[in-house]
Chain A
């Protein structure tokens, strides 16, 4: 079932294509919201969501990605790979300068990747493990040589993941104590102007941006408003023009979407495509039994959660691979809402009513309600669930210590199984202390083999068949509960044009945006 809101989005997309006939014009400042306030703005050092949103307009990567996750030139003008998939050559754009006027060169790329990210950035480090060497060839060519082919290599150069940082300001310093951290210097379309903590982060137009005419806006003000209801009011009374995904509570969205001059888009989350899951502790308790985990899948009414809690936005996944990651197997039999089947499975395993602890995700009202819905679903089939609420710190600790039976979480997919999906199932990724690895404790040798082979298989056809087999095994084993690929809508005034043009949405979206006022 699609709700009216989902239909409204489709209609919006249709009318918007008409508005685009106008020529973009310069001028104007956009007011938007950043929630929560980021801890700092140096991308590469900090990779959390609020930092990505603001600093994605200050810093850039070698590539950006379309909403279909096709790579597009950004600081790299073109790229090439040899026949073995091992040697990748990037041609850099000429005439690019840092915000302090120094030229951006191949040396900066080598420094960023080989020194800065290797030391500071866990997600880049995971990719760099596949890289043998990084060398500059003149000022505008960089050559990455891989140890073995790595399927998602080209998807790794997004600004937030593989940020280009200025070598001349960071080389030889203690990166985390560098004086420039308080005034970030990038190559992006906007420059850092001012951060009044607790109130606003102001970015201004980079007049020396290397693409003629861009950006169109004079600046962006990121307002810091800690209360969800106040954020909704800020949009209602016209103070802010753009509500990036996750800014207001879901139950406010239908109301705000109906305001005058308000448009909404679901595009711009494809790169991250957050996948909500239910961790199930594979080590002990009832959740150790595969039949129990299958029963949980049958017991949950996932369509209900999407339609009621998420306003009909988002996608109920068939299995372990989401629709925005590649190589999705579409021939699997879905786990439909089937309480009878769930009860049968529980009987078969001889479930004795042992208590099962459920940890909601402490990220606001929608998640709390979702946990309540799941609790009710599970009780209906006779599972004795007890919800245990915590704050973020407690949630981190409980998951890191594997002290749970069922727990909500969501993980970014990063467009490729080897970047965002395999980490949940690989046994080599089981380690106490972090809530973001294979927390469920699933171990399957064949799955390990398949994932590892598929990451380095070349070309794509090879990967496809390996991933098909792995999905079949996972679908049967249900190491985690697959809840939903979240739809994170962006709300904005309709006279803000070309706001979401890439697979990371507003994170780099203000580059092309212009105001029709």
Chain B
């Protein structure tokens, strides 16, 4: 019961935080120079004032700022995120159309980095004094230090241009008309490069963190007790050390999960993956206020959601935390 109340409290707080985020973002966006009407007119090379006036009136940009804010907030309260100036579509439609692609990419990268990172980190911890452990750590350091865009470009050059094994960009083969299983395989093939590019950085962090906290846990008294009991080393590593070393990893996973909507801008751009990150970047350049605010809203909501989930998972991993709350 206590648990349910806790979650309800958190959700209530989340609504307040979201509301503040909306207002903050709205004000922040006004500080950027230029407005969407000027940019649309600029692209069209339009010289007359009439054109700008029409657009501003249509977008409601000729209204005082507080009226615009009120319109926006009352819209969001009814789940109406407004209209994208540039794309001439409702913001919600645009976001929902792009969301699956991003979630597929970031979700795959999330699972991939978490699983591989923990496995590699555990191995490195178990072999801390051997050469194989050092090699894993050297690789992790390399992936950690290499800029994402460079990895992306080089993997395209290697796997697409020279080896011709994987498609260089896009989410599916245009014009192939694949359906059902063929389409799944096709998308899967397109997913490999961007997902592994995105996963590398976090994988490296997980590896380093898993190793560090496992080494720390292995110094604890209960590990000595377990050894004294005569448990097998693998069981000690898994049940006693890893489980106790999980908390910092969960914290980090919560952070990464929170970035799933907006955290793949670079990867999506280089690999032409039709996701939210690209939509956000373009919306920013085009001062497409409504769209940008809508994406900010979804990102913020997701961060809050994953914070709550992380807290719940802490409780599962370490029952002491649950009781303490």
Do A and B interact? yes
User: Chain A's nearest CB lies how many Å from the CB of B52?
Assistant: 6
Q: What is the size category of the interface that chain A forms with chain B? A: 35 or more
CA distance A93 to B246 in the complex (A): 76
- Tell me, yes or no, whether B175 is within 8 Å of chain A by CB: yes
CA distance A429 to B272 in the complex (A): 41
- Tell me, yes or no, whether A490 is within 8 Å of chain B by CB: no
Please pick, from B42, B88, B168, the residue contacting A233 in the complex, using a CB distance under 8 A. Answer: B168
Q: A126-B48, A230-B271 are in contact. Are A197 and B156 (CB under 8 A)?
A: no
Q: Check if B47 sits within 8 Å of A436, measured CB to CB.
A: yes
- Tell me, yes or no, whether B34 is within 8 Å of chain A by CB: yes
- Tell me, yes or no, whether A181 is within 8 Å of chain B by CB: yes
Q: Check if A230 sits within 8 Å of B270, measured CB to CB.
A: yes
Q: Check if A123 sits within 8 Å of B45, measured CB to CB.
A: yes
Number of interface residues of B (CB under 8 A): 55
- Tell me, yes or no, whether A373 is within 8 Å of chain B by CB: no
Q: Check if B46 sits within 8 Å of A39, measured CB to CB.
A: no
User: Chain B's nearest CB lies how many Å from the CB of A322?
Assistant: 16
CA distance A122 to B47 in the complex (A): 7
Contact with B along A476-517 (1 / 0, CB 8 A): 000000000000000000000000000000000000000000
CA distance A390 to B123 in the complex (A): 48
Contact with B along A142-175 (1 / 0, CB 8 A): 0000000000000000000000000000000000
Q: Check if B88 sits within 8 Å of A176, measured CB to CB.
A: yes
Chain A interface mostly: mixed
Q: Check if A434 sits within 8 Å of B52, measured CB to CB.
A: yes
When distances are taken between beta carbons in the complex, the residues of chain B under 8 Å from A226 are 268-269, 272, 278, 282
Q: Check if B34 sits within 8 Å of A392, measured CB to CB.
A: yes
User: Chain B's nearest CB lies how many Å from the CB of A299?
Assistant: 28
- Tell me, yes or no, whether B50 is within 8 Å of chain A by CB: yes
User: Chain A's nearest CB lies how many Å from the CB of B17?
Assistant: 28
Q: Give the residue name and chain of the B residue nearest to A48 (CB).
A: B43
CA distance A147 to B22 in the complex (A): 53
> Shortest 7 CB-CB distances between A and B: which pairs?
A393-B34, A198-B274, A48-B43, A122-B46, A397-B33, A397-B34, A394-B33
Q: What are 14 A-B residue pairs whose CB atoms fall within 8 Å in the complex?
A: A39-B88, A47-B44, A120-B54, A122-B41, A122-B48, A122-B51, A123-B46, A221-B174, A229-B270, A230-B168, A230-B270, A434-B49, A434-B52, A435-B42
Q: Which residues on B are within 8 Å of A, measured CB to CB?
A: 32-35, 38-52, 54, 58, 86-88, 94, 97-98, 101, 153, 156-157, 160-161, 164, 167-172, 174-175, 268-272, 274-275, 278-279, 282, 285-287
16 A-B pairs besides A122-B48, A433-B38 with CB distance below 8 A are: A29-B175, A31-B175, A39-B87, A47-B46, A48-B45, A176-B88, A227-B269, A227-B271, A229-B270, A233-B156, A233-B160, A233-B169, A234-B169, A392-B286, A431-B49, A433-B49
